[in-house]
Chain A
Amino acid sequence: MVFSFNDKLSEAFTVMKTESKIAENTPRHPLKDLILEVKNITKEVNSPEGLLTIVKDINLSVERGKPISLVGPSGSGKTTLLAIMAGLDIPTKGSVKLLGSNITLMNEDQRAQIRAKDVGFVFQSFHLMPRLSALDNVMLPLEIAGDPDAIEKSQIALDQVGLSSRAKNFATQLSGGEKQRVAIARAIVNKPKILFADEPTGNLDQKSSNAVTDLLFSINELINTTLVLVTHDLLLAEKCKDLYELSDGSLL
Chain B
Amino acid sequence: MIKGFRYALNKFWPEALSGDLLILSLSIVLAVTSISSVSFLGDRLQTSMKLQASSILGADLVLRSASAIDPNYLELGVANNLDTAETITFLSMIITDEDNLLTSIKTTSESYPLKGELIIADFDGSLIQNSGSPPSGSVWIEPKIAETLSINNLTEISIGNKTFKVDGIIKDFPDRNSSFVGFYPIAIVNINDVSQMGVIQTGSRVIYRNMFSGSKRNLDNFVNDIGEIPADIRLQQADDVGDELGEALRESVTFFNLASLFTVIISVISAMMAVRRYASRNLLHASLMKVFGASKLFILGHQIMQLLLIIFFATLFGLLCGYALQSLIISALQGILTNELPAPSFKPIILGFITSIFVVLATASPYLKILSQTEPIRILRNDFSINISNNLIIYLVALVTMFIFLGILFQDIKLLSYILLVLIFVTAALFAIGKTLIYLLGSIKFSSGIGWKIGLKNIVNRGNESILQIIIFGLSLLFLIVLAETRTDLIDSWSETLEEDTPNYFLFNIQEYDLVNVTSYLLETANFSPSYTPLIRGRLLSAKRAGSDEFSSENLMEREANLTWQESLPKSNKISKGEWWNEESLEAEVSIDAEVADSMNLEIGDELLFSAGGSKFSATVTSFREIEWESFSPNFFFILSPSAGQKLPNSYITSIKISEQSDIMNLFTQRFPTITAVDLAAVIQQIRNTVSSASLAVQYIFLLTLIAGILALVASVFSNRDQRTKETAIMHAIGANRLIIFQSAAAEFFILGILSGFTAIIFAIVLSSIIFSQFLDLQYSPNLLILGLSFAIGVIFIFISGILSIRKTIYTSPIITLRDS
Contact = CB atoms under 8 A, between A and B. Distances in A.
A1 B292 contact: no
A83 B1 contact: no
Interface in B10-25: 10, 14, 18
Contacts of A82: 380
B819 A144 contact: no
Contacts of B285: 129
A52 interface: no
Contacts of A1: 1, 297
B299 to A, nearest CB: 9
A121 B382 CA distance: 14
B292 A129 contact: no
Given A89-B377, A172-B820, A115 B3 contact: no
Interface string B291-318: 1111111100000000000000000000
Bin the interface of chain B by size.
20 to 34
A176 B377 CA distance: 22
Nearest to B301: A1
Given A2-B2, A146-B6, A112 B14 contact: no
A162 interface: no
Describe B's contact surface by its main secondary structure. helix
B382 A109 contact: no
Interface string A86-128: 0011000000000000000000110011111101010101010
Contact of A88 (B1, B294, B377): B377
A245 B375 CA distance: 27
Contacts of B2: 2
A114 B2 CA distance: 19
A144 B289 contact: yes
B294 A116 contact: yes
B292 A113 contact: no
Nearest to B294: A144
B472 to A, nearest CB: 25
B297 A143 contact: no
A119 B289 CA distance: 13
Given A113-B293, A127-B284, A144 B380 contact: no
A145 B293 contact: yes
B379 interface: yes
A116 B3 CA distance: 13
B380 A140 contact: no
Contacts of B14: 131-132
B730 to A, nearest CB: 17
Contacts of B291: 88, 115, 121
Nearest to A114: B293
9 contacts: A79-B380, A89-B375, A109-B295, A116-B294, A123-B379, A129-B284, A129-B288, A144-B3, A172-B819
Interface of B: 1-3, 6-7, 10, 14, 18, 284-285, 288-298, 375-377, 379-382, 819-820
Interface of A: 1-2, 5, 79, 82-83, 88-89, 108-109, 112-117, 119, 121, 123, 125, 127, 129-132, 140-141, 143-146, 172, 198
Given A121-B291, A144-B3, 14 more contacts: A5-B295, A108-B295, A109-B295, A112-B295, A113-B295, A115-B292, A129-B285, A140-B289, A140-B292, A141-B293, A144-B7, A144-B293, A144-B294, A144-B298
**The 7 A-B residue pairs with the shortest CB-CB distance in the complex, in nearest-first order:** A116-B293, A141-B292, A115-B293, A109-B295, A144-B294, A88-B376, A112-B293
